[in-house]
Amino acid sequence: MRHKDDMRNNLRRHRLHTDGMTQQDLADLVGVTRQTILSIEKGRYNPSVGLALRLARAFGVSVEELFELEEGDEDG
Amino acid sequence: MARSGALRRRPTPAGIVAGGLVVAGFALTALDWGFLALAALGTFGPGILRELGVLKDHDEFQRRAAHRAGYHAYLAGGLVAFLFVAAIRSGAMEIGDLGEVATLVLIVLWFTWFLSSLLAYWGPRRTAVTLLLIFGAVWLLFNIIGNIESPVAMFMQCLLAVPFFALAFVARRWPRTAGVILLVISAFFFYFFKLYRLFSEPLFEMGRPMVLILFIGPLVASGIGLLHSGTNKEPTPAEPPEAETSG
């Protein structure tokens, strides 16, 4: 059975590789709170499609490069 | 694509106005209980305005936390309300003042919402630390106000707030230890306030249900939250975790 929690993300890696961007910088860029960025990075919150797209655009990458499903959970 | 009006953690104007209404509403009940309507406006007004789309000071994560907390409050408040109706209508419980029942249901509703939204937004560890700091601050405030004419008594009473601040410090570094201590303290207060008499005496005598929810409730919730956060592994990120405070 697939769970939404089986998703992981590379947000933190991309953020730190972008001139040491802080969580607050990224939060300001996409219009959310720093706590939201922190929760996404820690895997406690999976963002909406809209926010995922904004985050991907902020780094100039595709959504799939930021978020990916854990291996082995492709089928139900 | 920088946006203006970025969401920060500092209090919003709506939050300040709502807080002012709540404080004023409760303070003015000394004159007339009708002023409690002001507190209701401050408590529920911002949420109603957000649902109507008038107030847009929350991001999607905050909205989700509030919505989940609302469902938890519905479950807890609804269950308690049904149990009261069943007990009263069956004659198993005699209530002299129905206002006390309504107040208790309201406290369960609000406390569940408050705790659940904090847990969803901050996670158990930070929620526990925040609750402990609030506890310590409230204790300090009441003792300073209550002993304003007796500095020695004020000092001695204020010392009792130190364990809460100390536990908040311990909880940041050793959550499981702090969790165990909190549960032990909760058990101590359960006996100190004679809350076990809830099971043998009229429910509303001496306001024990309120003490149980508002005093013991946060301590137990914090303790369980800290034990949970100390034993559960964080979700596996795509890279090694770093300090929470970065950024």
Question: Are B129 and B228 members of one domain?
Answer: yes
- pLDDT for residue B207: 63
B219/B136 same-domain check: yes
With CA atoms as reference, the chain A residue closest to B2 would be A29
In a domain, A74, yes or no: no
pLDDT: which is higher, B147 or A42: A42
Q: Tens digit of pLDDT for each residue in A10-26?
A: 999 999 988 888 999 99
- Tell whether B198 is covered by a domain: yes
Task: Decide which of B87, B122, B157 is a domain's last residue.
Answer: B122
- Residue B240 lies inside a defined structural domain of this protein: no
Q: What is the rounded average pLDDT for all residues in chain B?
A: 80
Smallest CA–CA distance, residue A17 to chain B, in Å, is 13
In this model, does residue A1 exceed pLDDT 70? Answer: no
Nearest residue in B to A48, CA atom: B60
Out of B2, B122, B246, closest to residue A28 by CB:
B2
Closest chain B residue to A36 measured between Cα atoms? Answer: B61
Does any domain span residue B142? yes
Residue numbers of the domain that contains A38: 4-69
Q: What is the ipTM of this complex?
A: 0.82
**B239 in contact with A at a CB cutoff of 8 Å?**
yes
Could you give phi then psi for residue A7, rounded to 5 degrees? -95, 145
Rg for chain A, CA atoms, rounded: 12
For chain A, the domain total comes to 1
B241 and A CB contact within 8 Å: yes
* pLDDT band (50, 70, 90) for residue B41: very high
| A contacts of B122 (beta carbons < 8 Å) | 35
**In angstroms, rounded to a whole number, what is the distance separating the alpha carbons of residues B57 and B22?**
19
Judgement on whether residues B172 and B129 belong to the same structural domain of the protein: yes
Mean pLDDT check: name the lowest of B28-32, B96-100, B199-203.
Answer: B199-203
A21: in domain: yes
* Same domain as B140, residue B115: no
A72 backbone φψ class: left, alpha, beta (φ>0; ψ -120 to 50): left
Name the domain count of chain B: 3
A7 part of contact set with chain B, CB < 8 Å: no
Q: What is the mean pLDDT of residues B191-203?
A: 71
Lowest mean pLDDT among A37-41, B206-210, B237-241: B237-241
* Facing residue for A9 by CB, picked from B9, B238, B242: B238
In the predicted model, is pLDDT for residue B149 greater than 70?
yes
Does one domain contain both B151 and B201?
yes
pLDDT above 70 (res B138): yes
- Stretch B5-29: mean pLDDT: 81
Chain B closest-CA separation from residue A55 CA (Å): 11
Per-residue H/E/C for A2-66: CCHHHEEECHHHHHHCCCCCCHHHHHHHHCCCHHHHHHHHCCCCCCCHHHHHHHHHHHCCCHHHH
Domain contains B165: yes
B118 falls within a domain: yes
Residue B239 has pLDDT above 50, yes or no: no
Does any domain span residue A76?
no
Domain of B89 in residue numbering reads as: 58-122
Q: Ranked by mean pLDDT, which of B46-60, B164-178, B197-211 comes out on top?
A: B46-60
CATH number of the CATH domain containing A36:
1.10.260.40
Percent of chain B scored above 70 by pLDDT? Answer: 83
Query: Is residue B242 over pLDDT 50?
Result: no
Residues of B in Cβ contact (< 8 Å) with A31? 3, 6-7, 59
| Residues B224, B155 share a domain | yes
Residue A64: the pLDDT is 92
